[in-house]
Amino acid sequence: MTRLDALRLTVAATLVTTAIGGALLASQRSAAAMATAAGQFLDSLTPDQRAKAAFAFGSDDRLRWHFIPNETFPRRGLMLKDMTEPQRRLAHDLLRTGLSASGYRKVTTIIGLEDVLKVVEAGGRFARNKEEYFFSIFGTPGAKGAWGWRVEGHHVSVRFTISDGSVASQVASSPMFLGSNPADVREGPQKGTRVLGEEEDAARALLQALTPEQQKTAIISATAPTDILTMNKNDITPLPAEGILYSALQPAQQAMLVRLLEVYTSTMEADVAAERMAVARRGGLEQVRFAWAGGVTRGEKHYYRVQGPTFLIEFDNTQNDGNHVHSVWRDFNGDFGRDVLRDHLAAVAH
């Protein structure tokens, strides 16, 4: 080995070590911020409120989730409407610790669409109340052991699982579901709002960038399914290996597929987003597939998915005549922090 080769190896090793160390420090900062915000939120609650908001980490409720209205899926936790204004601010402070600024705007805009539905569906069977979103804490927020938190209601299901907040902290963030009804607000004060428009537009741009031959592979059906295929299942396995592989794309097209992944990861706080992308890359981008079903023109009912060895993204816009979006990010081994907990148990003596 030449001196130059040895120097290159030393520099590469240093860069890897620095990157890993930076990621760990970032995760520790994120986990610490979450623990602080969760602790302040819990401390602000009355005993009765705390009894609704706090659960044991091993509670079955931690794995119970859905994205449909509360009337059809009763939830547990403390609702915004049952909090004082200072408590609501603390609840939102907790939500911000897991989301980027744009992600926070996205989630709060989705919640605000309940006001639009209340007008559109006046007299309907659902309350459509933007204050009926539940905040839940699982376990004891802090620097040791595992704990988690969740925010859930109609069209929002966001959760985080944290293990060993002070040492080699890890933060898991799936399943993560966001929906939008309407997908495109066409009248009223919020006219023009497309809260998940970037998720739709980035995927369609990739589809339109494909050659006719590539589209034959990418488009798996002329008809879109009526919803995401995995729905609210707790355990999922990979969907059929359909669609076009990343490795079959041209460099510019590959960059567009990576950009689509980043649209989803960027909803998260920066270090959580970086870890999501790192896991996807470690799993092998060459094995990631992009599949589309349904119409290709905006406004037509459509569905797409991006699936890699470790993760799955589904996006469906078919309900309400193609104006009602359901989207989800799932991790095959990491949903509900299962990979985080496995690594924690392997690293820590019990």
pLDDT, tens digit, 9 for 90 and up, residues 245-258? 999 999 999 999 99
Query: Sign of the C-alpha dihedral, residues 274, 338, 231, 56?
Result: negative
pTM: 0.90
Closest Cα partner for 34 from 95, 108, 102?
A: 95
Name residue, tokens 């919803």.
227
pLDDT at 13: 37
pLDDT at 311: 97
Q: What is the mean pLDDT of residues 320-347?
A: 83
pLDDT at 270: 93
Closest Cα partner for 286 from 314, 257, 266, 260?
A: 257
d(CA 267, CA 205): 20
For residue 29, what pLDDT band results from cuts at 50, 70 and 90? confident
d(CA 193, CA 235): 33
Q: Where are the domains of the chain?
A: 3-174, 197-333
pLDDT tens column, 161-214: 998 765 445 789 999 999 999 999 999 999 999 999 999 999 999 999 999 999
**Neighbouring-strand partners of residue 199:** none
| pLDDT, greater one: 199 or 342 | 199
Mean predicted lDDT score pLDDT of the chain: 90
Q: Which two tokens stand for residue 305?
A: 């998915």
Across the chain, how many H-helices and E-strands are there?
Answer: 10, 13
Name residue, tokens 């309900």.
319
Indicate whether 349 pLDDT > 90: no
Q: Which two tokens stand for residue 34?
A: 């979450």
Per the CB < 8 A criterion, the answer to whether 162 and 343 are in contact is no
∠ CA 147-83-42 to the nearest 5 degrees? 30
pLDDT at 342: 62
Q: Return the CA Rg of the chain.
A: 21
For residue 27, what pLDDT band results from cuts at 50, 70 and 90? low
d(CA 66, CA 153): 8
Indicate whether 5 pLDDT > 60: no
Per the CB < 8 A criterion, the answer to whether 43 and 154 are in contact is no
d(CA 94, CA 100): 12
pLDDT at 242: 98
Indicate whether 14 pLDDT > 80: no
d(CA 139, CA 55): 6
52-56, 86-90, 192-196, 271-275: segment of lowest average pLDDT: 271-275
pLDDT tens column, 77-134: 999 999 999 999 999 999 999 999 999 999 999 999 999 999 999 989 999 999 999 9
Closest Cα partner for 90 from 37, 141, 150, 156?
A: 37
Q: What is the mean pLDDT of residues 19-43?
A: 75
For residue 138, what pLDDT band results from cuts at 50, 70 and 90? very high
pLDDT at 163: 87
pLDDT at 6: 43
pLDDT tens column, 210-240: 999 999 999 999 999 999 999 999 999 999 9
Per the CB < 8 A criterion, the answer to whether 313 and 288 are in contact is no
